[in-house]
Structure 1
């Protein structure tokens, strides 16, 4: 790639245990897939279910938007400052634009199901979600394949560590909601990796105390 950054020595271990970035990506992939599936199985005229899916989708959009805007504002510029390939960073930004457009189209489709909770409208929205899923998955796969090894190469860089802290949710309630979302439906590998990154007691307390909005309003969507 022509970059002066090299994959960090811990990258292979991170791939085995999952990095925080991969945990977030897994939550995104999971929500997109189960939203599509829920729309395809939605009963005709089920307005409450449509509104429930709308609430869950809006949460996904909020979490993903925070994630990719932090990358645009912090990660890609920092990687460029350390010699990362300009074409790769431009591709990451372009893919974020495409992803935002796909999310907007999907949000409109789900809003349409709330307005008209028919089987036909739900099926049409599911098709839009499927299209968005392709755009999102392509970007996440590309990022994990080419950009994440560069980020891992900065694991011992003090300046990077300071920048990375700015990517965290600033409000404790947002952190609690994000942690609850990441764990909802996660498999053993993701849960273990999360607690390897953040101390288990911290995850438990912050999720239980400050993730109540997610637990109350969104988690029942997938039960």
Structure 2
């Protein structure tokens, strides 16, 4: 049986999944399909929102905590620099997708897909690096009381935001991601949050990928 994934890895899987889905949707966009362009824009903005929360929480909470414990500051600086590159890539992709909404041509959609593909390289490169070199460090601290307090501060600020994040992580997830979520968060809690509270995600974003 596969090892359970950490919450960090489940988030990363959702990021990889939605970046790939966005690129594919743009490449398949029919000329003049403004409605589909707006749908893809909505899903992309949700991804950017979730990913931005994730990497900003790491920059402001996780990396300073690890630095305070004496971990390699050079590695942590690499993480921060990669976050900057990722933010720039997201911004460029967002602008390209907005251009498709403004003028929904197949040519603009392919150009936006190419921009998302470039962002995918930056994003996946960072996620792979973090999982290879930082994931183990965070895992070793899992039972540390001070780390638990720090990690709690990285969670979404509101119940609605938490439910949106859970719904997003589950949407299109494989069984390994789903079983890891169930192991981390009790099944009834996941069900209530995602089906009752996460109305915005299920109304606005989930239908884009159906």
- TM range, normalised to the smaller chain? over 0.9
Structure 1 position 116, deviation (Å): 0.8
1:175 aligns with 2:168: no
What does 1:139-158 correspond to in 2, within 5 Å?
139-158=126-145
Secondary structure of residue in 1 paired with 2:89: helix
**TM-fit CA distance, 1:83:** 1.1
In the other structure, the counterpart of 1:121 is 108
Q: 1:134 aligns with which of 101, 118, 121?
A: 121
Task: Give, in angstroms, the shift of residue 59 of structure 1.
Answer: 0.4
Range with greater deviation from structure 2 (148-157 or 120-129): 148-157
Matching residue of 1:7: none
2:94 — aligned with what? 107
Unmatched tracts of structure 1, length 5 or more: 1-12
Q: Cα offset for 1:34?
A: 0.5
Equivalent position of 2:173 in the other structure: 186
Aligned match of 2:48 in 61, 67, 86?
61
Give, in whole Å, the separation in 1 of the partners of 2:193 and 2:110: 37
| Distance (Å, rounded) in 2 between the aligned partners of 1:175 and 1:100 | 22
What stretches of structure 2 of length at least 5 have no aligned partner? none
* Alpha-carbon distance in structure 2 between the residues aligned to 1:27 and 1:68: 14
* Cα shift at 1:46: 0.1
Q: 1:78-100 deviations in whole A, cap 9, x for unaligned?
A: 00111110110000000000000
Of residues 13, 17, 34, the one that matches 1:30 is: 17
Q: 1:175, 1:210 within 8 Å by CA — same for their partners in 2?
A: no
TM-score for both structures, normalised by structure 1: 0.93
- How far apart are 1:63 and its partner, in Å? 0.2
TM-score by length of 2: 0.98
Give 1:212 shift: 1.0
Could you list the structure 1 runs, at least 4 aligned residues long, displaced by more than 2 angstroms after superposition.
none
CA distance in 1, matches of 2:76, 2:50: 22
CA shift for structure 1 position 183 = 0.3
Partner of 1:5: none
